[in-house]
């Protein structure tokens, strides 16, 4: 067991990617803003990439620049396609942060509409 900011986290729940002390991802990933937890495995704050057909994170758990652990959230285009553009209010711009923080606390990935896990 490992202490994750006062919470007991079973490290075996976390990904099998090697841990590094720095991020190694494409330049499209940007620093996060707001209340994001650090990764319980690498202890780094994630970066995020938000694009038309996806939203994902990157941290210090990676094999290469293009193969890294990631948490995802439904994209704005997925909401548009799923609702025929009629319920864009269902798009939640904070969903990726909530999915990340949930993962850091529980080790569980949410199955999100419009993404592959």
Could you report the per-residue pLDDT of 14-73, keeping only the tens digit for each?
557 899 999 999 999 999 999 999 999 999 999 999 987 889 999 999 999 999 999 999
Q: What is the pLDDT of residue 109?
A: 81
CA pair distance 103, 44, nearest whole angstrom: 14
Which 3 state secondary structure label does DSSP give 98? helix
Q: What is the pLDDT of residue 54?
A: 86
Residue of 35, 36, 32 whose CA lies nearest to 50: 32
- 63, part of any domain: yes
- Residue 55 contacts residue 75 (beta carbons within 8 Å): yes
Both tokens of 20, joined, read 């590094």
- 116, part of any domain: no
- 112, part of any domain: no
- 117, part of any domain: no
Q: What is the pLDDT of residue 4?
A: 47
Domain limits at 59?
A: 2-106
Our count of domains for the chain comes to 1
Calculate the dihedral angle through the C-alpha atoms of 28, 29, 34, 39, rounding to the nearest 10 degrees: 170
- Residue 49 contacts residue 29 (beta carbons within 8 Å): yes
Q: What number of CA atoms fall less than 13 Å from residue 65's CA on the CB side?
A: 4
- 95, part of any domain: yes
């Amino acid at each position: 067991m490992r202490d994750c900011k006062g919470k007991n986290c079973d490290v075996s729940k976390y990904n099998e990617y090697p841990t590094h002390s720095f991020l190694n991802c494409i330049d499209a990933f940007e620093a996060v803003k707001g209340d994001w937890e650090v990764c319980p495995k690498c202890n780094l704050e994630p970066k995020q990439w938000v694009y038309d057909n996806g939203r994902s994170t990157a941290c210090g758990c990676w094999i290469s620049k293009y193969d890294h652990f990631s948490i995802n959230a439904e994209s704005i285009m997925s909401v548009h396609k799923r609702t025929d553009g009629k319920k864009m209010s269902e798009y939640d711009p904070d969903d990726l942060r909530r999915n990340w923080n949930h993962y850091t606390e529980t080790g569980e990935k949410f199955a999100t509409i419009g993404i592959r896990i």
